[in-house]
Amino acid sequence: MIYNLKSIDAKDLKSDMLFLYGDDVAERALPLSRKEMELVRERREEKKDFMMAFDRLPYHLYLLSFDSERPAPECQEKLRRQMTEVLRKAENDRVKELAVTGEGILPEEMVAAVEGLTLADYSFDRYRNKEAYHLGTLTIDGRYLKAEELESAQRLWNRIYWCREWVNLPVQDLNATAFADELASIAADFDNVSCTVMDKKKIESLRMGGLLAVNRGSVDEPRFVVLEYKGRNSNAPICLVGKGIMYDTGGLNIKPEDYMQEMKSDMAGAATMASVLFAAADNRLPVHLVALLPLTDNRPGFNAYAADDILTMYDGTTVEVINTDAEGRLILADAIAYAAKNYNPSLIIDAATLTGAAVRAISTFGIAAMQQNAENPLTLMKLVGNQVYERLVEFPMWSEYDDLIKSEMADLRNCGNTPQAGTITAGKFLAHFAGKVPFIHLDIAGVAYFTKPQHYYRVGASGYGMRLLYAFLQMQDMFDK
């Protein structure tokens, strides 16, 4: 989509237009007849959230009414969600160029509307023979948005686009080696991002027992990718660790029935963390970031690792394998321990499609979050999540849960010894490898990939969590001053 900024007079505009109507002050600028205006007023008395379409042949006027008196985060999220209806109507009308204006609206409301249109307009098209509908050009009223603000937002939206593309790609076209090569290629285009790609031999020399074990059943080699971005503030870095299981069969504990469907999305954590780092570099945020991405698929072939195996991890911890389908925490553990030892980070954050238990607990409405020694950062992240409407639910990390991952044969088990608290025991397992470093675990299993449309997300990858993490990183400079 091409974005333009210019001053728009709704009454003189001769093109397809979306008009945002959040307050009665907007009436003075609406290009409506007296009878049309009466109809709009009647509708707003019944319900403030609606869309009406008026034919101005050969053009169309879409009037989007919303309740500007709601709390700001709710109002902005409602606008994002309403864009799905606008886009559906624009597709029916075969609109390719759309102007967006309003009267008496806030810049944040304009950004939310454009963001909603952008997210809703995405679809995964590269394997389709029939061309899909997309908006071609969006012209935004420059009274509500500055050019630098739009450009910054565009760069973030572009990274969300590529995060979704990567997660939607099947493993036949994006395995561990291909993804590592693509990340290295993108990093090479930056003057402020370095990329190190470690091959299997290097991973063996590091004794990353979790990553190597999970990879044993695959014909494809693993990779461990480290991206580093140093902004103006080059203090101790924030380490972003992302689960990169390129495809998950469950290994020898193979997934039953249709649970293997959509398992190309099990690398969403890695895609998210790489994309967040690239977005920060694009907009030169004053932060120091290191993204650590362990990449492999989990297959039941060759000399696949098995339940009862005992692994020695990067930091020397021994782990008894209880279930080979609890593989994500094994590769993350190596990466977290590597981050803690080699980067002296101020904070480690991991993102992972880790447990079905998280989905059962909170459905597809948010992220299950846990923290160790990071109460203040997680409090800030929850506040930011409420603002951008990518929300967190904090799960406890009480010491009693430690007993659930103790092993009689090794230091730890890779699964809890009870079916209960599966999300928490996974977080507890990972926290062990962070040691004393402040640590936040984000289980994005319920939101990374949708099997049914969810508001402005179509079926497939969402990029959910990127706006949250980016906004969180934007706040860091304030706290460093």
The span from the CA of 133 to the CA of 112, in Å, is: 22
Which of 11-25, 163-177, 442-456 has the least mean pLDDT? 11-25
Q: Is the pLDDT of residue 182 over 90?
A: yes
Residue among 297, 329, 302, 293 at smallest CA distance from 220:
297
Q: What is the reported pLDDT for 190? A: 97
- Residue 478: the pLDDT is 64
Res. 232 pLDDT band, cuts 50 70 90: confident
pLDDT mean over 457-481: 89
Q: Is 159 a catalytic residue?
A: no
- Across the range 201-207, mean pLDDT stands at 98
The mean per-residue pLDDT over the stretch 181-190 comes to 98
Radius of gyration of the chain (CA): 24
pLDDT given at position 257: 79
Condensed to tens digits (0 to 9), the pLDDT of residues 50-97 reads: 999 999 889 999 999 999 999 999 999 999 999 999 999 999 999 999
Of 329, 382, 391, 413, which one is the catalytic site residue?
A: 329
Question: What is the structure's pLDDT at 481?
Answer: 46
DSSP conformation letters of 167-182:
HHS-TTT--HHHHHHH
| CA 264 to chain CA mean position, Å | 15
pLDDT of residue 477 exceeding 80: no
User: What is the reported pLDDT for 259?
Assistant: 83
What does pLDDT average to over the chain? 96
> CA 40, CA 49: separation in Å to the nearest integer?
11
Asked if residue 180 has pLDDT above 90, the reply is yes
CA distance 354 to 365: 16
Domains, the chain, with CATH or none = 2-145 (3.40.220.10), 170-480 (3.40.630.10)
Rounded to 10 degrees, the C-alpha dihedral 238/183/124/163 comes to 0
Residue 24 scores a pLDDT above 90: no
Which pTM does this prediction carry?
0.96
Which residue reads 């029935």 in tokens? Answer: 257
Active site residue 34: no
Mean pLDDT for 468-481 is 82
Kindly report which listed range (187-191, 232-236, 254-258, 283-287) carries the lowest average pLDDT score: 232-236
| Integer Cα distance of 399 and 92 in angstroms | 56
* pLDDT tens, residue by residue, 329-375: 999 999 999 999 999 999 999 999 999 999 999 999 999 999 999 99
pLDDT at 110: 97
pLDDT at 12: 87
Bridge partners of 5, per DSSP, are 140
Question: 244-268 pLDDT, tens per residue?
Answer: 999 999 999 999 878 899 999 999 9
Q: How confident is the model over 262-276, as pLDDT tens digits?
A: 999 999 999 999 999
Q: What percent of the chain clears pLDDT 90, i.e. is strictly above it?
A: 93
